[in-house]
Amino acid sequence: MVQLLGELLEYVLAIDALTAELILELRHPILTNLMTSVTGLGSVAAGLAVVGLFYLAEWREEFFVTLIALSITGVIVAVLMTVVQRPFPTQPVCLTDGAGTPTTSFPSGHAAAVTAYAMVARNSDALPFRSVAALAAVVAVSRIYLGTHFLSDTVAGIAIGIASVIVAERVLARTDLDAVFRKLPQ
């Protein structure tokens, strides 16, 4: 079993290396500007803005699911980055050194966050799922394109985002959202 896991890990790392090489060959200044512009939508600051907008719009379910899901992803991503300590791909376009956050490659917190947005939009009457999902996909790809994450880091981030929303929805299914929302400052 250990040998099988080792072989699987080698396979994943080989795919990561090939993907990183391909990305280096595909980089173009116009595409780099686009990816650099969109990637921030997966940041902590963007997450706070999204949660705040949902609160102000009084989209109760979207607010609570997103708040809980982003909290879960934040903890999981920070712990995994600290434990795994995977170095970044070679020749990254931008890094977060000195920002006071973990600066390792595995997993992608940006991919986790934008996946959570897409998962929330899929059950929302207020949010356009297709648009949010498309934007989430572009942000996830931007992390690989910009060299801040390997393909497997981004896939892991996507899985974390999906799982965090599922957990948040299950927690909230047992909660009276209207009672909780009334307790919040208006």
End-to-end, the C-alpha distance of the chain in Å comes to 55
> What's the pLDDT at 124?
93
> What's the pLDDT at 92?
76
> What's the pLDDT at 167?
97
Q: What is the pLDDT of residues 133-172, one digit of tens each?
A: 999 999 999 999 999 899 999 999 999 999 999 999 999 8
Q: What is the pLDDT of residues 68-107, one digit of tens each?
A: 999 999 999 999 999 999 988 887 776 555 455 557 889 9
| pLDDT higher than threshold 90 for residue 181 | no
